[in-house]
Amino acid sequence: MIKFLYAISILCFLSSCGTLHKPYYNDTVKDWKNNNPLPQQEIIHSLYLIGDAGELDNNLQKTNAVTTALKKQIALEKSKTSLVFLGDNVYPHGLPKKDAHDRAYTEEILLEQISCASAHQGKTYFIPGNHDWNKHYPGGRKAILRQEKFIEAYNTEANPISFLPDNACSDPEIIEINDNLVFVFLDTQWWLQRWQYEKDINQGCKIQTKQEFLDQMSSIFSTYQSKELVIMMHHPIHSDGVHGGHFGFKHHVFPLTEAYRHLWIPLPFIGSLYPAFRRIKGSRQDIPNNHNKTLMQELKRMAQTSGGQVIFASGHDHGLQYYDQDKIKYIISGAGGKIDFVKRNGNADYARGKRGFVKIDFYKNKESWAYYYVINPDKDETMLELRVNLRKPD
């Protein structure tokens, strides 16, 4: 029996290494190193995307390896910049009350992200994720309001910082970067939160119903269909990660590690029931779930119907992914704090189970390119792993 468990552990380790630590490229992007922007074109804006950065790697130094690498790179930018934290800014339950035992530690997590604002000359934005909403439990709206108040206390003219959407509302926030580029900030957890336990969920908000939210999004896609739209939201529309219903060997044999990372108790066969549930139905946090699916399918339909240039930027799944489907671009940058299983040979053009961040350069000729960076914290290295064209020049 001991030999069997040992063999299972070795297989799990090898499977995890093969899955998480090698990038996957499909045929459309495998020659990415040979693709480059047109020479001598002016970059008019750069957007940095980092999600799920709500943990520290070094509690004594109060640092996160990904934000440290990001600060070094964004400080070198010569063009105008924006930095967006794509939710799950504080694990596991968002920012607690001031008298909570872990309040000081969670403040340090946020302060490390806030410190990125002073590394560049542009604006820094935070959007909420499910963990920021008290890990999608009751009391989520109050947790969002606490986090917004804390973050925006550091907003200055020199280092502008915003938490969007404002006031824990679902009202989409629109930022017109220039004549051709528009950012839209959404709170997708508002849709997924159990409203019956959040009696004041829409207090002081313009939008009071889910249908009103969809109507507003339809209007946004129509109004800006001639411009390049970047939709920032925590939950992804497509994913080859666990929230998309994809699981690795470890999840099937050691399912309890999903709840407690050190609980390596083998439960073969029985353990496969949990991944099967997540793939077929899942929780509200999973793409197969009907609550989630309703929102994502509507947003996707609107984007396709508009015929415009649309990029969806998300976190939630802990890795890096890229999709180009039906002329819509999908970016997942959820590798700010941890990594999880990402399927190889799935629907993604590129998939990577390694920590890092994404940058998008927008050019004067309306060309845009995405750059996927992974980090090696042991060697203090940042490596470019994908360069992909999002929009061709006019």
**Per-residue model confidence as pLDDT tens digits over 295-324:** 999 999 999 999 999 999 999 999 999 999
Question: Residue 257: what pLDDT?
Answer: 58
Instruction: Specify whether the CB–CB gap between 46 and 371 falls below 8 A.
Output: no
Q: What is the pTM of this model?
A: 0.91
**Strand, coil or helix: 114:** helix
In the chain, where the domains are located: 2-30+43-246+282-391
CA–CA distance, 365 with 38 (Å, rounded to integer): 10
pLDDT one-digit tens code per residue, 190-224: 999 999 999 899 999 999 999 999 999 999 999 99
Residue 256 pLDDT > 60: no
Q: Which of 53-62, 251-260, 356-365 has the lowest mean pLDDT?
A: 251-260
Q: Could you name the CATH architecture of 2-30+43-246+282-391?
A: 4-Layer Sandwich (3.60)
Structure tokens at 195: 């409203």
Between CA 350 and CA 244, with CA 334 as vertex, the angle to 5 degrees is: 65
- pLDDT at residue number 2: 44
Q: Three-class SS string for 25-85? A: ECCCCCCHHHCCCCCCCCEEEEEEEECCCCCCCECCCCECHHHHHHHHHHCCCCCCEEEEE
Note the pLDDT tens digit of each residue in 352-376.
999 999 999 999 999 999 999 999 8
Cα–Cα dist 248/70, whole Å: 29
